[in-house]
Chains A and B, each alone.
Chain A
Amino acid sequence: MAAIETIEAGPRRESRLATFRFYARRYPLGAAGAAIAAIFVLMAIFAPWITQVDPTATNPRISLAFPSSEHPLGADFLGRDMWSRIVYGARISLAVGLGSTGLGALFGVTIGLTSGYFGGWYDLIVQRVMDMMQSLPLLVMALVMTAALGPSLENTIIAISIPLIPTVARVIRSNTLMLREMPFIEAARAVGMNELSIALRHVLPNTLAPLIVLATAQLGSTILVEAALSFLGLGVPEPHPSWGRMLSESAAEYVRVAPWLVIFPGAAISLAVFGTNLLGDALRDILDPRQRD
């Protein structure tokens, strides 16, 4: 318990920067994760400033070029600069990661909150639906979904977000169930607040911590699912520079002629996911004391 008190005491006393430094020292791995994630986010935002090369421009002269000063990560079969494709690829991964996690969280929270708060028949039915969604293998679901919707960035985001819904809904529901019985909710009810505003103003904010923990943990896995889908030929279509797509069958063909085509995008995926996972771990420790080790 002592640990919790110091942490909670931390932010109150110090400025923001100092707070950050405080956490960074206590969670060096988390800080490293945050730094990695920040680098990728910056890369996505400032892509056009980082590289002037158009990631979709083809050039026969540099087909399968070895990494050089001009093309630091080499070029692919069609003669597209790998460095610029990886930099722009951060945008796709970020869009998929944030988009599908956000979408999944939005629906998950809505469903979890309402079913936990209102209970009854509604809850029972919703829980069955969630059961169903969890019993279908995630990648298979996403496969069928992308096949149904057709490959595009938006559809990939939707397809990946759907399997996230039950996970989020479950956690939020159990939190809501717990919160519903809390004294302060009783108090709000006693004062005569209506149910909806209790749910929105008192229950929802209190589920934010577990939600953030869960969302960060899922962020990495959505990026991985996108990569796997693209690897299987679905997912974000060409010529979008998606990291997973760069690893897909057609690129992997040249794995031995040009190993850099496979190594760099794979490393980018792994590093990005690793970063968000580290960050997610630290956030869990900070925000969700019950799970702390």
Chain B
Amino acid sequence: MYHRENSPSMSIHEEATYSVNISSMPIFNNLVVYDQHKAQNSIDALTPELATEWSWSADKKALTFKLREGVKWHDGKPFTSADVKCTFDMLMGKSQNRFRKDPRKDWYFNVEDVTADNPMQATFHLKRPQPAVLAMLASGYTPIYPCHVTAAQMRTNPIGTGPFKFVELKQNESIKLTRDSDYWKKGLPYLDGIEYTIIPNRSTAILGFVAGKFDMTFPTEVSIPLMKDVKSQKPDAVCVLAQTNVATNLIMNRDAPPFNDENVRRALALALDRQAFLDTLFEGKSVIGGALLPPPNGVWGLPPAELKNVIGYGDVKKNREEARKLMEKAGYGPNKHLALKVSTRNLAVYRDPAVILIDQLKDIYIDGELDVVESGIWFAKIARKEYSVGLNLTGAGIDDPDQTFYENFGCGSERNYTNYCNKDLQQQFDAQSQETDPAKRKQLAWEIDKKLQEDVARPILYFSDQGTCWAPYVKNVTIMTNSSYNGFRYEDVWMDK
């Protein structure tokens, strides 16, 4: 398999890109994990890994895991509940063994403590009920780390309990994993090893796959026209188009002109022709939705029928008419255009929609110019509010309202780039988070989602579909359809040759 970029490190907990998950997930195990062969992740389809069973207390504030006996770390030490406690203490910043960075600390804001009840049992104590905790623990983002290895070593030479052992990471060259013959699931894994050749140049990478240098492309990195091309050049290749639950969205700097004016914000939301984005970039495929991924792929999102009457989702012509009126109200017009810098990250998936956006904004008296920000400093720049309007991509680690709402729209969250803050809504976030009845919770989530769109908090353009291809002899690969972070354990993938 080839890899799309130089991996920042091997440590899943310290990174927030699926580039790391793909190459590191096979090294580790979770307590529980989403069923690796069900394309739609949901809390109803979990597979036990290091935990054999789990149960909620009566008040729904304690979650207890019974752990698997006889599991060994790759260095031979036995796995116990102490490792579970260590992992979450580290994530919550309570441990001496500190991560260099801890991007998902906020996931555990509601976890009071994790206790090791006995060597083979661990309990999560919550401040208030939160069913989503289990969803987070099942994510590919939540492997269990060993207690006896430092955070620094986990970045460069990780030790796990998973089906594959880490061999080496050569910067800009390759990552190598080899089969763990002592893996606790007897007979697994089938593959002798996995080798990820790092090829940042996508055209070279695809050519390499077509020429047979690789058994599989990097997951969900093949665009639709390229997929067609792969199929024509290599007719026996298996290609799957899957929803990634990565939302392309607009961020507006509400603290500075012109977007401190609500009229301009609303005008921008109304000017969007979402279908045109899909037509250009995905040959009409991919999905339009609100803050949460809509069904059928998504579990919690607003269905298209519910979206119709939300701002900016209806008839484009009528919307733009209205947008122009709002712009005129804000003091702009045919003779007084608004000059705007549209910031975006210097990556094709960001740049391409930004170019289309600028083209669409011409219709409402806005002359946009693209401000391409070097990829590595993009988030540093928007965190410093050095932008006016930006085109951004936000991937959802798990398909769950808690993660999306708190992270992207919560008051004071570090990923809430626009500083949108609505105290009433914040209470609704908590209300849905505590709701243990999934049907009721979904209703609450829909209400919130609609409100977010009406407030033009962070207009969502689309959720992109991306392709993955592999050679016909590669078997048992399942690509998830509502996440791009959780499906890479690869323990039972095999090759028919």
* Touch between chains A and B, by CB atoms below 8 Å: yes
By a beta-carbon cutoff of 8 Å, the part of chain A in contact with chain B is 56-61, 63-64, 77-79, 147, 150-151, 233, 237-239, 249-250, 252-257
Shortest CB-to-CB span from B223 to chain A, Å, is 7
> With A63-B280, A249-B203 in contact, do A256 and B229 touch (Cβ < 8 Å)?
yes
Main secondary structure of the interface of A (DSSP, over half): loop
> What are the residues of chain A within 8 A of B203 when measuring CB–CB?
249, 252-255
Name the residue of chain A whose CB is nearest to the CB of B284: A60
Q: Is B276 part of the contact surface with A, judged by Cβ < 8 Å?
A: yes
> With A78-B280, A249-B201, A253-B206 in contact, do A56 and B355 touch (Cβ < 8 Å)?
yes
Among B129-137, B346-354, B476-484, the stretch that binds chain A is: B346-354
> What are the residues of chain B within 8 A of A254 when measuring CB–CB?
203, 225-226, 229
Main secondary structure of the interface of B (DSSP, over half): helix
A60 touches B359 (CB 8 A): no
A60 touches B279 (CB 8 A): yes
B279 touches A147 (CB 8 A): no
> What are the residues of chain B within 8 A of A78 when measuring CB–CB?
280-281, 352, 355-356
Name the residue of chain A whose CB is nearest to the CB of B348: A250
B276 touches A253 (CB 8 A): no
Q: Is B207 part of the contact surface with A, judged by Cβ < 8 Å?
A: yes
Beta-carbon contacts of B199-217 to A below 8 Å, as 1s and 0s?
0011100110010000000
Name the residue of chain A whose CB is nearest to the CB of B349: A250
A239 touches B358 (CB 8 A): yes
Q: Is B191 part of the contact surface with A, judged by Cβ < 8 Å?
A: no
Beta-carbon contacts of B223-256 to A below 8 Å, as 1s and 0s?
1011011000100000000000000000000000
Among B207, B279, B359, B374, which residue has the most Cβ atoms of chain A within 10 A? Answer: B359
* Chain B interface bracket (under 10, 10 to 19, 20 to 34, 35 or more): 20 to 34
> What are the residues of chain B within 8 A of A58 when measuring CB–CB?
280, 355-356, 359
Q: Is B370 part of the contact surface with A, judged by Cβ < 8 Å?
A: yes
Q: Is B372 part of the contact surface with A, judged by Cβ < 8 Å?
A: yes
Determine which of B206, B225, B355 lies in contact with A239 in the assembled complex, contact meaning CB atoms within 8 Å.
B355
Shortest CB-to-CB span from A124 to chain B, Å, is 38
Q: A64-B225, A250-B351, A256-B210 are in contact. List 19 more A-B contacts (CB 8 A).
A: A57-B359, A60-B280, A61-B279, A63-B280, A77-B280, A147-B374, A150-B374, A151-B374, A239-B355, A250-B202, A252-B201, A252-B202, A253-B202, A253-B203, A254-B203, A254-B225, A254-B226, A254-B229, A257-B229
B372 touches A151 (CB 8 A): yes
* CB proximity to A under 8 Å, residues B342-386: 346, 348, 351-352, 354-356, 358-359, 370-372, 374
Shortest CB-to-CB span from A238 to chain B, Å, is 5
By a beta-carbon cutoff of 8 Å, the part of chain B in contact with chain A is 201-203, 206-207, 210, 223, 225-226, 228-229, 233, 276, 279-281, 283, 346, 348, 351-352, 354-356, 358-359, 370-372, 374
> What are the residues of chain A within 8 A of B279 when measuring CB–CB?
60-61
Shortest CB-to-CB span from A92 to chain B, Å, is 14
> With A56-B358, A77-B225, A256-B229 in contact, do A250 and B352 touch (Cβ < 8 Å)?
yes
> What are the residues of chain A within 8 A of B356 when measuring CB–CB?
58, 78
> What are the residues of chain A within 8 A of B206 when measuring CB–CB?
253, 256
A238 touches B370 (CB 8 A): yes
A-B contact pairs, 13 of them (CB 8 A): A58-B355, A58-B359, A78-B280, A151-B346, A233-B346, A237-B370, A237-B371, A237-B372, A239-B370, A250-B351, A253-B226, A256-B207, A257-B228
> What are the residues of chain B within 8 A of A253 when measuring CB–CB?
202-203, 206, 223, 226, 348
A249 to B206, CA, bound (A): 12
B370 touches A79 (CB 8 A): no
> What are the residues of chain A within 8 A of B283 when measuring CB–CB?
63
Name the residue of chain A whose CB is nearest to the CB of B352: A78
Shortest CB-to-CB span from A86 to chain B, Å, is 17
> With A233-B346, A239-B355, A252-B203 in contact, do A60 and B225 touch (Cβ < 8 Å)?
no
Name the residue of chain A whose CB is nearest to the CB of B360: A58
A79 to B233, CA, bound (A): 23
A256 to B359, CA, bound (A): 27
A233 to B351, CA, bound (A): 11
A234 to B226, CA, bound (A): 24
A255 to B352, CA, bound (A): 17
Among A77, A147, A150, which residue has the most Cβ atoms of chain B within 10 A? Answer: A77
B280 touches A79 (CB 8 A): yes
A77 to B372, CA, bound (A): 19
A114 to B279, CA, bound (A): 60
Name the residue of chain A whose CB is nearest to the CB of B205: A253
A78 to B279, CA, bound (A): 10
> What are the residues of chain B within 8 A of A64 when measuring CB–CB?
225
A191 to B374, CA, bound (A): 59
> With A57-B359, A58-B280 in contact, do A238 and B229 touch (Cβ < 8 Å)?
no
A238 touches B280 (CB 8 A): no
A63 to B283, CA, bound (A): 9
> With A78-B280, A249-B203, A253-B203 in contact, do A56 and B359 touch (Cβ < 8 Å)?
yes
Name the residue of chain A whose CB is nearest to the CB of B200: A249
> What are the residues of chain A within 8 A of B228 when measuring CB–CB?
257
> What are the residues of chain A within 8 A of B202 when measuring CB–CB?
249-250, 252-253
> What are the residues of chain A within 8 A of B229 when measuring CB–CB?
254, 256-257
- 5 A-B pairs closest in CB distance: A60-B279, A250-B348, A60-B280, A252-B203, A237-B372
A147 to B372, CA, bound (A): 12
> What are the residues of chain B within 8 A of A77 when measuring CB–CB?
225, 280, 352
Shortest CB-to-CB span from B351 to chain A, Å, is 5
A117 to B346, CA, bound (A): 46
Shortest CB-to-CB span from A63 to chain B, Å, is 6
> What are the residues of chain B within 8 A of A63 when measuring CB–CB?
225, 280, 283
A181 to B359, CA, bound (A): 62
